[in-house]
Each structure stands twice: as structure tokens, then as C-alpha cells.
Structure 1
């Protein structure tokens, strides 16, 4: 893990925090705005869209590539998580990145490291309940990366809805002066949300995984016709997902978009969140539900 990373493109690939800070300080002294896109590599079009959006609003775009061991559980896919570094750097540069920050594990977590960031409630529900410790790992690495990069804006995908909520909550609680930009989910032709883990799916699993989009879009259509009962919408979602043979539901909930607490009725901005296994591959997705003003006024 400590071996030097070969730089395969013309944009700088920086491994050390000290070098990154020096490089970025020179740019700040030129009044350049800095955007930041944190990733774990294995880039797909969803990541590239984040970089492109960042490029449009920032003079400099830093993309981090770091497979964070703290956010993986003991029986999860840390060791087999896709690592495609050379391709990631090339794609980042083509999408508009200015710098790739690729720290090693010892650079991020030196000997004796023992500090973490823990969101006690939001980090323990839904994804946090299914993956204990996951959001502590996410919040810790994002906090460290924020302090390393010190960007003006940071860009995240809506596809990881609860992660977005955790980072927003952490940023509010800790008075982090970084503007968070949330970019809509990028989907494949059948609606499946792009994910680095999609490559784990067998051809049959991949074919059936499109049912997630069908379930979410069905619920959104039902909501638009006036169905606001979470129980009704969730029943129909579960029925649709259960109609394919290889799906195994982990959870499906309708939650308050700010707190991620479950709702009985969609009378405020809400998010459908779900996690479903296809074979050994676990996929997550979500859909935003926004009630009309009249519905919200009756709450």
C-alpha cells in the first residue's frame, strides 16, 4: 500500500498531504476557486458527471482516489473492491479534473491514529444498521479530506442519499465552511443507478436489477396521483422488487429527507431509500418525493 503511484497522465497526481496543501495554496494565492470530488476510484459516468459539474463552477477541481478501509465491515468487499487507478486518472483528466489526490492508507491513517467522527443517530439507521460502523468511516474520511483539500465547494451524488445526509449533518454540526453541491443520480438505459459495484453482477442479475428503478418510478407515479401513505407505497415497492427471482430485500423505507426518520405519510420532502441484494451484490438507490405546497401546508 505504501508503494509510489505511477503518474499516467499530465495532470498532477499527488500522494502527500503536505505536497497537496502547498500546491493548492499557490492556487488560492491566485484567487482560484477550488472544487473537490471525493471518490474511491473505479470511476463511472456518475463520478465523471460530478467532475464536469465541478469544472463548470470552479477554477480548479481536485479528485481524490482513496479506497477507505474504515467504511468497510469485516465481511464486506474491501479486498475485491475494483481498483482501476490508471484509467481513473485518465478519465478524471478528460472530464476536467486539475489534480488527483491519491493518498496511501498510512498517509491517511498514520500509526497511532485513533480519532473518528460519529453521527450517533443518523449514522446508526438504515445503511448504518445494515453496515455497522460504515458511516463513522465515511464521516471520518470526508472530514479529513475536507481539511486536507480545504475546497470552496464539494460535490456528491444523490445516488448515495443517506451518505449525503450524513455529510450535510456533519457539516452543519461542525460549522464546516464548504458549500455542498448534490448532483442528480446518473442512470443506465434501464434506469439502474450507476455504481462501481454493478460490475459484480452476473448477466442475469444485471438484467433483473433494473427492477429497482421500476419500483421507485412506480411509487413516484403513485405519489403524483395523490397516494401519500408510506405503507401503501412501500407495499407496492416490495411487491415489485419481489417479482424477480434473484432479488433479496434488505430494506425499503420512506424517510424525511433531512432527518432520515421514517414517515407514515409523505407530507414533507421525503426520500424513498432501498437496499437490495442480487446474489452477493448489494445495491442501493433512492427517489426524492416533494409534496405540493397545499399538501405540506396541511401537515
Structure 2
């Protein structure tokens, strides 16, 4: 498996593949790969001749320097895991910060039509400018035909679709279902940092989302939100940061349900100092 650390190298390799009329898929990751990432890679391999997996812990999307420092970096293990899927059809691009930012490690400013100010945007200053900057950079370097993102980061997926639309980037964005552990916990690289008691408690998040979905047929969004807040107030380990029922197009919290709209419930929870997010389709 070829691992590239410089954009000039990966760009040259892709040019050769495209000269052979081969299609390129891109799966952007921050590494510490798990089965959820592999599901994205497998989806990409089903629809493309070659898949580029980028592994890059992007400093500009972290508003917490401690979180950036603690984020797991496991390149050797990541490459070994990718080899279990395919040795020949996957290229790994693991750049340095210098290779991506060229000595100027700051975010570009974006206008995502307000999507960036909802949910995660309210709690993580500048996060989506960082995401937009690095994803746009990867699109420019790799020039993929298709790019794959998990629905666990549903807001990020919506923002990347908006990025592509507004900047007229010729790539098809494909959202893939949330991959879960057997206990229902949404797979995340952060899960590896959970202490045993928090790992045991964390499936409560998805259990609560499933019950919220059941209640959505008969209860108002505000009543469901009150119920979720009460459930977490009574939990001795997990601390709720937010629970929001939002329109999937605008990501704005719903005030009154409409049969014409599609809704999702979004949640962010602290398990000790580890921040976990999840969501579920409601209708």
C-alpha cells in the first residue's frame, strides 16, 4: 500500500490514474481508524476504481488545544487496518501540517448560509471554518470524482455539500449511515479514550435517541427536549451539552412540526472529558 506525505506526490499519482480513465474516491479522516471508517472505504471502493484515504489531524478545526494534543495518532495501525480491505486499490495521503498549510496554519472564512451557526457551531468557535478549509484543500489536491462522509457528523456533511455547491467544486458528496458498536454507541475515534465506567454508560445516548424517535409521533419537539434534558439531569455520569430536534435542510430547531419537513434529533454529551455526538432520523 502506497503512503504519501506530500501533496505533489499524491497529485502526480492521481494524474497517472486519471490518464488511465480510472475513477477516484476520497475518504477524508483524522486517523485512529475503526470499522465505521472502513465502512466508508468499502462504500467508496464499490463505486470507484481507486480510493484515497487521507489521514490528517487538522489543527484549525479544534477550538480546544488539549483535545488536539490528546487526539489519537495511529498511522501504522491505520495502514494495517486499511490493508485488510484492499492492498492495491487504496492510496493513503498522510500529510504534515506544513504540507497542507504551507506555514500559514489559519482557516479560510466561509459562509455556509447559516448552517455553521447551529448546534456544533454554537459550541465550537471556528470549527466549521477549519473543516471547510481542510476539506476544500483535499478536494483541490486529490480532485476526486466522489467523496464519502459519515452521517454521524450530519451537520458537517450538510456543510460540505454547501461548500461544494457554493464553490462549484466538481465532486459528488455521498453520505453514509452511522456505524455503531454492538451496544448502539456511534463509532468514533474518541471512544478509545473512554474510561471503562463511561464506556459502559455511553450507550444510554443512543437509547435516549431511539426513545425520542418513538415519542416524536405523538409529542411536540419541546416536550421531547424537556424529557431528554430530565433524563440526563438524572444520570450520574453523562452530562448533556445539547439536544436539538432540527429541520435537516436548515438545521434550525423546530418550533412546530410540519408534515412537509424532514427532521432529525441531534445530541452532544460529555462522558468525563470526552465529547460524544450522535443523531437519529425522526421521520
TM-score where L is the length of structure 2: 0.94
Partners in 1 of 2:242 and 2:38 — Cα distance?
Answer: 29
Q: CA contact under 8 A between 2:24 and 2:144: conserved in structure 1? A: yes
Count of aligned positions: 278
Q: State the match for 1:5 in structure 2.
A: none
Out of 24, 35, 38, the residue aligned to residue 28 of structure 2 is 38
**What residue is the counterpart of 2:38 in the other structure?**
48
- Which of 169, 176, 186 is equivalent to 2:162? 169
| Rounded Cα–Cα distance in structure 2 between residues aligned with 1:287 and 1:82 | 26
Q: How far does the alpha carbon of each residue in 1:91-130 deviate from its partner, in whole angstroms, 9 at most, with x for none? A: 1222235100011110001124656142362222211111
**Does the Cα contact within 8 Å between 1:255 and 1:271 map onto a contact in 2?**
yes
Instruction: Give the aligned partner of residue 215 of structure 1.
Output: 208
- Secondary structure, in 3 states, of the residue corresponding to 1:159? helix
Distance 1:86 1:113, change over 3 A: closer
Structure 2 equivalent of residue 8 of structure 1: none
Q: Secondary structure at the match of 2:236?
A: coil
Counterparts in 2 of 1:24 and 1:208: CA distance versus 1, 3 Å: same
Matches within 5 A, 1:126-141: 126-141=119-134
- Aligned partners of 1:166 and 1:246: how far apart in 2? 32
- Once residues 236 and 74 of structure 1 are traced to their aligned partners in structure 2, the CA distance between those partners, rounded to angstroms, is 30
Tell me what 2:273 maps to.
280
Aligned to 2:67: 77
How far residue 278 of structure 1 moved from its aligned partner, in angstroms, is 1.2
Q: CA RMSD in A?
A: 1.5
State the Cα deviation string for residues 139-170 of structure 1 (Å, max 9, x = none). Answer: 10000001111100000000011111111111
Tell me the secondary structure at the aligned position of residue 62 of structure 1: strand
Q: Give the counterpart of 2:184 among 187, 191, 198.
A: 191
**Structure 1: which 5+ runs fail to align?**
1-10, 291-299
Moved beyond 3 Å, runs of 4+: 112-115
Paired position in structure 2 for 1:106: 98
Task: Measure the CA separation in 2 of the matches of 1:30 and 1:104.
Answer: 29
- What is the correspondence of 1:1-299 to structure 2 with a 5 Å cutoff? 11-96=1-86, 98-112=90-104, 116-119=108-111, 121-223=114-216, 226-227=217-218, 229-267=220-258, 268-290=261-283
Question: Is the contact between residue 255 and residue 272 of structure 1 (CA under 8 Å) also seen in structure 2?
Answer: yes
Residue 235 (structure 1) shift: 1.9
Contact persistence 1:48–1:95 (CA under 8 A)? yes
Structure 1 contact 211–244 (Cα < 8 Å) conserved: no
SS of the aligned residue for 1:245 comes to coil
Taking structure 1 as the reference length, the TM-score comes to 0.89
8 Å CA contact retained: 2:36, 2:178: yes
CA distance in 2, matches of 1:228, 1:136: 36
In structure 2, distance between residues paired with 1:249 and 1:256 = 21
CA contact (8 A) 1:208 1:244 kept: no
Q: Quick one: distance in 2 between partners of 1:168 and 1:269?
A: 17
Gaps of 5+ in 2: none
1:222: how far off? Answer: 2.0
* CA pair 233-115 structure 1, distance change in 2 beyond 3 A: closer
With 203-212 and 67-76 compared, the bigger mean Cα shift is at 67-76
Q: Deviations over 1:208-263 (max 9, x none)?
A: 1111111100011222xx22521122122223333321111111101111211111
